[in-house]
Amino acid sequence: MKEPEILISEQVLQVPYCYSAGRVVSRFLLGLAEECTIYGIRCPACAKVYVPPRSTCGKCFAENTEWIPLSGAGVIETFTEVHYSETVHPLPPPFCIGVIRLDGADTSLVHLIRGSPEAGPTIGQRVRAVFAPKRTGHILDISHFEPVV
């Protein structure tokens, strides 16, 4: 039997979509909007702190129940600079997105990094959260992270 030809169809899809953030992520987003506070959630069994929060511990599968307010400061673990434009991007290019480990958290948060365009971000650099002036219960209530000087 002859191998079938593999067909490739390139498409651009834009699908409006609404989802429920659920109990845990809703609490996280309300903390951003109403308190300008980033909350982690701690596992009562193994003490691992998740940011963004999740209802079940990925390490020991216990239900996470203890909310921990974090300072909003942390360290850049890695980053990339985006040079192309997509309708879903929060900014026009170029911009940086980084993986940030907040102080007191055991997991990392992916978010925008802004700062000195001359120097750019560096791995290991200390950063802090900057909140948007108008907040709506969205991850972009954290406008970006900037270098701690």
Q: Which tens digit of pLDDT belongs to each residue from 26-66?
A: 999 999 999 999 999 999 999 999 999 999 999 999 999 99
Give a yes or no: residue 12 inside a domain: no
CA distance 29 to 35: 10
Number of domains present in the structure of the chain: 1
> What is the total residue count of the chain?
149
Q: What is the pLDDT of residue 17?
A: 83
What is residue 116's predicted lDDT score, i.e. its pLDDT? 64
Sign of the torsion angle spanned by Cα atoms 122, 123, 125, 129: positive
* Confidence category of residue 117, pLDDT binned at 50, 70, 90: low
> Tokens 């899809």 belong to which residue?
13
Tell me, yes or no, whether 67 lies in a domain: yes
Residue 94 falls inside a structural domain: yes
Percentage of the chain surpassing pLDDT 90? Answer: 78
Interacting residues of 111 by C-beta distance below 8 A, sequence separation 6+: 97, 98, 100, 139, 142, 144, 145
Residue 74 resides in a domain? yes
> Minimum mean pLDDT among 8-17, 40-49, 61-70, 135-144: which range?
8-17
Scanning the chain, the segments in alpha helix (DSSP H) are 22-35
5 located within any domain: no
Residue 2 placed within a domain: no
Q: What is the model's pLDDT at position 41? A: 97
Q: The domain containing residue 39 runs over which residues?
A: 22-147
In a domain, 88, yes or no: yes
For CA atoms 71, 47, 28, 140, the dihedral sign is positive
Q: Judge contact between 106 and 49, C-beta under 8 A.
A: yes
